[in-house]
Each structure stands twice: as structure tokens, then as C-alpha cells.
């Protein structure tokens, strides 16, 4: 997976590739090695910022963080997004993602 998760200010950042309109939310749903992104599926359509809100809520739940600690720092209108998780370490994010992706 290379350098997927990076240190940023007082937290960690990583890239997501979002599929909207899914039947069920799934995170992580895979790893896209060409884009170096974790894949996520959300139910909401990309309308009225609903898909972005689903992404933030899903990532926050996955890492047991409050929604207020998860931000989209780029890609609000794209399928590829950069997510920032406040007050977390790169190693804890990497380990949690690796645990989940090993089973896929």
C-alpha cells in the first residue's frame, strides 16, 4: 500500500475513492493501487453534499472518532477525496485500515 496515510498537522490524511448510490455502506471496500486510494461505498447520491456527509460519518465511525474530527480537505466535488482525521496517529490509522483490508 506504500505511503497511503500521511502525517498532517495534528492528525493523519489519506485518499479515498468514493462510489455513491450503493445499496449498503462499506468502508473500506477495497484498495485502488493505481490511484493509491482506499475505496468507500456510500448510499447517498452526490447531491446537496449528502454523499460527502455520508463519507465523513462513515470514516468517523470506523475510526471511533467524533464527526467533528473528520474533514474533507480536498475533493468535495470529485470521487477522489483527501480525508483528514484530527488528533490521531499515522500508525493507528494505517494499522486499522490494514486490518480491514487484509480480509478483502
How many angstroms separate the Cα of 92 from the Cα of each of 7, 28, 87? 11, 15, 11
Residue 1 lies in a domain: no
Residue 95, domain CATH = 3.30.1200.10
**Phi-psi label, residue 6: left if phi above 0, alpha if psi -120 to 50, beta otherwise:** beta
Which of 8, 2, 16 has its CA nearest to residue 60? 16
Residue 21 is predicted with a pLDDT of 96
Residue at 58 is within a domain: yes
Average pLDDT over residues 53-73: 97
* pLDDT for 14 beyond 90: yes
65 found inside a domain: yes
Domain assignment of residue 64, given as a range = 6-102
- pLDDT band at 70; cut points 50, 70, 90: very high
Structural domain includes residue 86: yes
Q: How many structural domains comprise the chain?
A: 1
Write down the pLDDT at residue 1: 52
Amino acid at each position: 500500500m506504500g505511503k497511503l496515510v500521511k502525517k498532517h498537522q495534528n492528525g493523519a490524511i489519506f485518499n479515498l475513492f468514493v462510489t455513491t448510490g450503493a445499496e449498503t455502506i462499506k468502508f473500506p471496500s477495497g484498495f485502488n493501487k493505481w490511484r493509491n486510494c482506499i475505496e468507500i461505498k456510500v448510499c447517498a447520491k452526490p447531491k446537496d453534499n449528502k454523499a460527502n456527509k455520508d463519507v465523513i460519518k462513515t470514516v468517523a465511525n470506523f475510526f471511533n472518532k467524533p464527526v467533528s474530527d473528520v474533514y474533507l480537505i480536498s475533493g468535495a466535488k470529485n470521487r477522489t477525496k483527501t480525508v483528514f482525521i484530527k488528533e490521531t496517529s499515522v500508525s493507528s490509522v494505517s494499522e486499522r485500515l490494514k486490518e480491514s483490508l487484509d480480509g478483502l
